[in-house]
């Protein structure tokens, strides 16, 4: 019998393309024609019979809209163009939602990426340029989200409102900025798009662009006067987002525009702490050069150096020490503990070379319930025999009660290699009866 597409093509050869019924049949049967349940026996009559059923039961307009939706579903751009060229315009529901899509016919056409040449007939025949879809998306919203620059330019020139919003309060500018469509951002800004609008989650255009690292979009927004100090309800600023994601060029642009390198979120987090967490050494360097405080702690007591050691960045550690961070006492002990617990061998060695005290007992941020702990226990938790050996060589006490406790902890976590290092160093003199290979 042949596939639905073969059937449609054979029938399309029999009927001239300017026949609307044959055209609709071709589009509708371009996918799986059987799902329409057409019950006829003569193969060559299937497409045209199906099309005339649409024309009789719905009318030309509804049949045409259904075919356009089908073309969108199956990504049949050329079929959609042909449908627009031969549309029965007086009968099309201009702004009604197309069944099965939740979009207006114009929104469908924009969503498919049809050029302005094929969008103009919709407006000429009475379509409303800002007619919303089910989620309140307009043609301009869809074009901006997908980055169709020519479409955005055409719709704005035709009078589209640049500040319409979806159900989530996302505007065309927010969507274009979020997805990095810099040319669309420039067009919307020139048309008067509001840069201060925020979607329901509190994100504005510059916040999304900074978070995603879209430098050109950020530059356009700054040029048009967008504030670099805007923040979400949690206190996150564009600089915080860019530092967290490691977008060094965006960080530089925001700092040049006046962003404060010491701004804190509601949790007390700074851009430098987030850059250290990456770790993003290039962002950390930019922030320190701009005057970021290398010693500021967040609300939990975490400092940049602790985060840098946790992340294992010796480059950032060197920057922080050069910027004036002191690693004597509890600060150095906490940094060494976190580096050891996260098995950061190079960072542990760098801290030992600096002279951090391996015998210090510290309250590590985020582990206050465990009480004061020594770096040796961080190494046992991390399971690195190499770090345990380095701490022992640096003078960590393993012969007294601390060594016995460390050995018990290693056994509890099944750190067999760590157990051996501790035993060879003299730990667990009272536990000989408990030792087993």
State the pLDDT confidence band at 17, using cuts at 50, 70 and 90: very low
Is the distance from CB of 55 to CB of 94 less than 8 angstroms? no
Q: What is the Rg, in whole angstroms, of the alpha carbon atoms belonging to the chain? A: 33
Decide if 252 contacts 238 (C-beta within 8 A).
no
How crowded is the C-beta side of 341, counted as CA atoms within 13 Å? Answer: 19
pTM of the predicted protein model:
0.86
Give tens-digit pLDDT for 130-171.
Answer: 999 999 999 999 999 999 999 999 999 999 999 999 999 999
Among the listed residues 195, 155, 143, 200, the one whose alpha carbon sits nearest the alpha carbon of residue 174: 195
Coil, helix or strand for 198?
A: strand
Mean pLDDT of 285-295: 98
Q: What is the pLDDT of residue 21?
A: 55
7 and 47 in contact (C-beta within 8 Å)?
yes
Which 8-state DSSP code applies to residue 305? H
**Sign of CA pseudo-dihedral 332, 334, 338, 343:** positive
282 vs 20 pLDDT, higher one: 282
Are 64 and 50 contacting, i.e. CB atoms less than 8 angstroms apart? Answer: no
In this predicted structure, the answer to whether residue 52 has a pLDDT above a threshold of 60 is no
Mean local confidence (pLDDT), 267-285: 98
Q: Is the pLDDT of residue 330 over 90?
A: no
Closest CA relative to residue 392, chosen from 384, 200, 197: 384
- Highest mean pLDDT pick, 50-64, 101-115, 259-273: 259-273
Burial class (CB in 10 A: 0-12, 13-18, 19+), 47: buried
pLDDT band, residue 264 (cuts 50/70/90): very high
The per-residue DSSP string of 317-373 comes to: HHHHHHTT---STHHHHHHHHHHHHTT-HHHHHHHHHHT--TT--B--TT-GGG-SB
Report whether 208 contacts 177 (CB < 8 A). Answer: yes
Q: Considering only 12-21, 191-200, 214-223, 418-427, which range has the smallest mean pLDDT?
A: 12-21
C-alpha 261 chain-centroid distance: 23
* Three-state DSSP class for residue 381: helix
b/e per residue 277-309 (b: at least 16 CB within 10 A) = bbbbbbbbbbbbebebbbeebbeeebbbbbbbb
Angle at 257 between CA 251 and CA 258, to 5 degrees: 95
For residue 368, pLDDT over 90 is answered with no
DSSP 213: T
Q: Which residues pair with 270 in a beta bridge?
A: 264
Using an 8 Å Cβ cutoff, are 394 and 374 in contact?
no
Query: pLDDT digit string (tens) for 178-192?
Result: 999 999 999 999 999
Residue 427's contacts (CB-CB under 8 Å, 6 or more residues apart) are: 398, 399, 403, 404, 406, 407
> Could you tell me how many residues make up the chain?
437
| Structural domains in the chain plus CATH codes | 326-429 (1.25.40.20)
């Amino acid at each position: 019998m042949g596939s639905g597409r073969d059937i449609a093509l054979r029938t399309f050869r029999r009927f001239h393309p300017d026949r609307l019924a044959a055209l609709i049949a071709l589009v509708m049967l371009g996918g799986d024609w059987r799902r329409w349940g057409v019950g006829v026996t003569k193969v060559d009559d299937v497409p045209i019979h199906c099309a005339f059923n649409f024309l009789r039961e719905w009318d030309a307009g509804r049949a045409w809209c259904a075919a356009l939706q089908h073309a969108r579903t199956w990504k049949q751009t050329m079929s959609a163009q042909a449908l627009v060229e031969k549309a029965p315009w007086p009968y099309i529901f201009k702004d009604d939602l197309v069944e099965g899509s939740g979009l207006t016919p114009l929104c469908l056409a924009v969503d498919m990426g049809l050029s302005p040449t094929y969008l103009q007939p919709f407006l000429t025949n009475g379509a409303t340029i800002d007619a919303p879809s089910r989620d309140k998306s307009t043609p301009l919203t869809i074009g901006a989200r997908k980055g169709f620059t020519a479409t955005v330019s055409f719709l704005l020139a035709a009078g589209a409102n640049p500040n319409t919003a979806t159900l989530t309060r996302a505007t065309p500018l927010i969507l274009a900025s979020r997805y990095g469509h810099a040319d669309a951002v420039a067009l919307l800004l020139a048309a008067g798009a509001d840069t201060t609008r925020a979607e329901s989650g509190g994100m504005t255009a510059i916040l999304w662009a900074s978070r995603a690292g879209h430098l050109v979009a950020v530059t356009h927004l700054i040029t048009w006067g967008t504030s670099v100090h805007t923040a979400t309800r949690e206190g996150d600023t564009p600089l915080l987002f860019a530092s967290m994601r490691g977008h060094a060029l965006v960080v530089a642009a925001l700092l040049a525009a006046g962003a404060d390198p010491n701004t804190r979120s509601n949790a007390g987090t700074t851009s430098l702490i987030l850059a250290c967490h990456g770790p993003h050494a290039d962002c950390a360097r930019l922030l320190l050069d701009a005057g970021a405080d290398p010693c500021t702690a967040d609300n939990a007591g975490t400092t940049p150096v602790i985060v840098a050691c946790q992340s294992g960045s010796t480059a950032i550690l060197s920057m922080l020490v050069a910027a004036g961070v002191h690693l004597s006492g509890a600060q150095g002990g906490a940094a060494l503990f976190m580096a050891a617990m996260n098995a950061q061998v190079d960072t542990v060695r760098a801290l030992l070379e600096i002279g951090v005290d391996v015998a210090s007992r510290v309250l590590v941020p985020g582990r206050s319930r465990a009480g004061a702990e020594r770096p040796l226990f961080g190494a046992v938790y991390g399971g690195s025999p190499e770090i345990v050996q380095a701490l022992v060589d640096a003078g960590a006490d393993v012969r007294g009660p601390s060594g016995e406790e460390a050995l018990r902890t290693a056994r509890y976590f099944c750190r067999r290699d760590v157990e051996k290092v501790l035993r060879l160093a003299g730990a667990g003199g009272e536990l000989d009866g408990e030792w087993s290979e």
